[in-house]
Amino acid sequence: MTYIKLVVTGPFSAGKTALINSVNEIRGVNTDVDIDAGRQVKQQTTVAMDFGQITLPDGPTLHLVGTPGQQRFAFMWEMLIIECNGILMLVDSSDPSSFAEARRMFDFFAVRANGVPMFVAANKQDLPGALSPDEVSQALNLVGLGQAGRAVALLPPPGCIACDRSSVLSVLEAIVPYLAVGH
């Protein structure tokens, strides 16, 4: 079977699990646990990985591998990008306080991705005060990264709403042409 392994990453509460769950066609893997301390933005957090699968209309099958969003799980990030065909970073466009962490994560993956295409999607575009994809790109200083030979950064307009299946499909369909086919 031919598939593409796409790693879905981003800071805590960026929407990685929601994105995978909104398009998942199989009984996926979810390693969320209850949050007992720290930021109470949500009830649970991913501690190992999420996994889902989607076969795009007239396209390939994507294996979606979601990373934990917290720095303390960076050892998992390195394991999960092995043999991946692309990396999709979600950024919570309604939470500028998470942008510094998103930039650190982008740099972490860019150094270790060995030329694997990277994409950034401005998530939570449906929330009040959400910055536009262009504003997120400027805040993260992503303009021109592809030309510098580091990684491809793409924020497809109009951004992303991870809990909306059609929005997620639009993002995935926009990046698939840039990904090499896997196994």
Antiparallel, parallel or unpaired: β 3-9 and 44-55: unpaired
Dump pLDDT digits (tens) for 125-173: 999 999 998 899 889 887 655 544 445 666 667 789 999 999 999 999 9
Q: Which domains does the chain have, with CATH numbers?
A: 3-178 (3.40.50.300)
Dump pLDDT digits (tens) for 106-124: 989 988 888 889 999 999 9
Average pLDDT (57-62) is: 88
Instruction: Give the C-alpha separation, 80 to 70, whole Å.
Output: 14
H-helix or E-strand spanning residue 173: helix 165-175
pLDDT reported for residue 59 = 83
Q: Burial letters for 119-151: b for 16+ Cβ neighbours within 10 Å, e otherwise? A: bbbbbbbeeeebbebeebbebbebeebeeeebb
pLDDT reported for residue 70 = 76
Whole-prediction pTM: 0.84
Dump pLDDT digits (tens) for 18-48: 999 999 998 766 665 555 555 555 555 555 6
Closest CA to 115 of 144, 137, 148: 148
Query: Based on C-alpha coordinates, what's the Rg of the chain?
Result: 15
H-helix or E-strand spanning residue 22: helix 16-23
